[in-house]
């Protein structure tokens, strides 16, 4: 009962805290851009953007009957509530453990306040994973996610690939192989992917010509690979060492490995963190799923609490020590 009450208080409190934040381009950067779009739509402006047009029509539709603050609250409901639904569906009475790990993940706050369209799109993808028995609902969620942000075509493509081949050992080897390949020929992949017909914004992320708000870091990001390896190690450990077998978990892990391997190949791109997030949003699920589905350790509850504590501390140190 304590976990349930605490979980619902966290769900409601966090949604209101993020959704009712003040409009600020200084602290939340892209929020100011969305605010200007919303205000223009509320005054009757037409949708002129040709990129992620469904999101813009959704914003324009919302501007007819709610304020900008109401819209940002709605976006954070779309961002946070699917994480609760996923946790509730797969982990039942232990849903709060999963939900807690997801909201203390490294990129959670940034994509709830700054890159809100990308964050909402990834959560719609997670929502699609809640209906493995209903391909129509899954398809609707995935298509909506891609229409909100085109970058979601990568995890959607990875999902489709796992329907054809779902052996995690192969994808683990491929992830490991991507590191030396990127070290040797990373610039080749950056040039290749930037010339394959991506939209201008996505190509801008790869070439460093995008009008973005974040500092530009280039080079081989060993720190990001170290962070990404947590989920890779967890998947390897639970499947190979502990013998955990769950077809759905294999699928989640393989989607993570495919998307993260793609990011490793373009890791030298100035804004490769945008691609890293296309796998990172699944990291909490990859780490927590096996230990919440099956008692794999002695003092299992204590082990879960240790994992959550370490996961949170890493996020805390990354934000306030490493990047500060």
Q: Which two tokens stand for residue 140?
A: 């609707």
pLDDT over 90, % of the chain = 64
With the C-alpha atoms ordered 122, 214, 310, 276, is the resulting torsion angle positive or negative?
positive
pLDDT of 204 strictly over 60: no
Contacts of 60 (CB under 8 A, 6+ apart): 41, 45, 47
Q: What is the mean pLDDT of residues 222-237?
A: 92
Q: What is the mean pLDDT of residues 253-267?
A: 93
Confidence of residue 214 (pLDDT cuts 50, 70, 90): very low
Do 10 and 103 meet the contact criterion of CB atoms below 8 Å apart?
yes
State the pTM of this model: 0.91
Confidence of residue 36 (pLDDT cuts 50, 70, 90): very high
| Closest C-alpha to 272, from 215, 196, 192, 197 | 215
Give the start-to-end residue ranges of the domains of the chain. Answer: 1-148, 151-293
Confidence of residue 218 (pLDDT cuts 50, 70, 90): low
Residue with tokens 């966090």, as numbered in its chain: 14
Confidence of residue 107 (pLDDT cuts 50, 70, 90): confident
pLDDT of 215 strictly over 50: no
**Predicted pLDDT at 322:** 63
Q: What is the pLDDT of residues 294-314, one digit of tens each?
A: 888 888 888 899 999 999 988
Q: Which two tokens stand for residue 206?
A: 């790869």
Contacts of 131 (CB under 8 A, 6+ apart): 137, 138, 141
DSSP states along 209-231: -S--SSPP--S--HHHHHHHHHH
Q: Which two tokens stand for residue 251?
A: 């699928």
| Closest C-alpha to 231, from 171, 295, 317, 274 | 171
**Predicted pLDDT at 187:** 74
Q: Which two tokens stand for residue 261?
A: 């391997």
pLDDT of 138 strictly over 70: yes
Which segment of 135-144, 187-196, 259-268, 273-282 scores lowest on mean pLDDT? Answer: 187-196
Tallying the residues shown for the chain, one arrives at 324
Q: What is the mean pLDDT of residues 82-98?
A: 95
Confidence of residue 210 (pLDDT cuts 50, 70, 90): very low
Q: What is the mean pLDDT of residues 93-119?
A: 92
pLDDT over 70, % of the chain = 89
Which segment of 6-10, 18-22, 213-217 scores lowest on mean pLDDT? Answer: 213-217
Cα 176–Cα 178–Cα 180 angle in degrees, nearest 5? 90
Whole-angstrom Cα distance, residue 305 to residue 94?
12
pLDDT of 106 strictly over 80: yes
Q: What is the mean pLDDT of residues 143-171?
A: 94
Q: Which secondary structure element, helix H or strand E, spans residue 247, and what is its range?
A: helix 247-265
End-to-end CA distance of the chain: 38
Confidence of residue 211 (pLDDT cuts 50, 70, 90): very low
Q: What is the mean pLDDT of residues 46-62?
A: 88
Q: What is the mean pLDDT of residues 95-123?
A: 93
pLDDT of 244 strictly over 90: yes
Mean pLDDT of the chain: 87
Q: What is the mean pLDDT of residues 227-235?
A: 94
pLDDT of 206 strictly over 80: no
Whole-angstrom Cα distance, residue 77 to residue 166?
32
């Amino acid at each position: 009962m304590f976990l349930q009450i605490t979980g619902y208080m966290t769900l409601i409190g966090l949604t209101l805290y993020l959704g009712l934040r003040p409009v600020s381009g200084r602290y939340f950067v892209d929020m100011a851009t969305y605010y200007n779009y919303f205000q223009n739509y509320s005054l009757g402006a037409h949708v002129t953007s040709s990129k992620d047009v469904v999101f813009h029509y959704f914003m324009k539709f919302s501007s007819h009957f709610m304020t900008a603050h109401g819209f940002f609250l709605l976006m954070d409901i779309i961002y946070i509530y699917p994480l609760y639904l996923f946790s509730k569906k797969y982990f039942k009475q232990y849903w709060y453990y999963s939900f807690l790990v997801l909201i203390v993940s490294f990129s959670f706050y940034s994509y709830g306040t700054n890159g809100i369209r990308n964050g909402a799109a990834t959560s719609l993808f997670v929502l699609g994973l809640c209906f493995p028995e209903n391909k129509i609902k899954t398809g609707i969620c995935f298509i909506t996610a891609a229409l909100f942000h085109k970058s979601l075509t990568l995890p959607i493509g990875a999902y489709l690939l796992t329907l054809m081949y779902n052996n995690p050992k192969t994808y683990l080897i491929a992830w490991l192989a991507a590191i030396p390949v990127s070290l040797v020929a990373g610039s080749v992949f950056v040039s290749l992917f930037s010339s394959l017909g991506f939209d201008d914004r996505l190509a801008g992320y790869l070439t460093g010509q995008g009008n973005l708000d974040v500092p530009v870091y280039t080079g081989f990001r060993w720190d990001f690979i170290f962070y990404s390896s947590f989920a890779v190690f967890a998947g390897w450990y639970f499947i190979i060492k502990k013998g955990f077998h769950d077809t759905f978990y294999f699928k989640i892990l393989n989607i993570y490995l495919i998307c993260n391997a793609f990011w490793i190949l373009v890791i030298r791109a100035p804004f490769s963190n945008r691609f890293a997030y296309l796998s990172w949003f699944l990291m909490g699920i990859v780490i927590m799923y096996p230990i919440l589905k099956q008692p794999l350790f002695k003092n299992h509850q204590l082990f879960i609490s240790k994992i959550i504590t370490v996961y949170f501390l890493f996020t805390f140190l990354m934000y306030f020590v490493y990047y500060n």
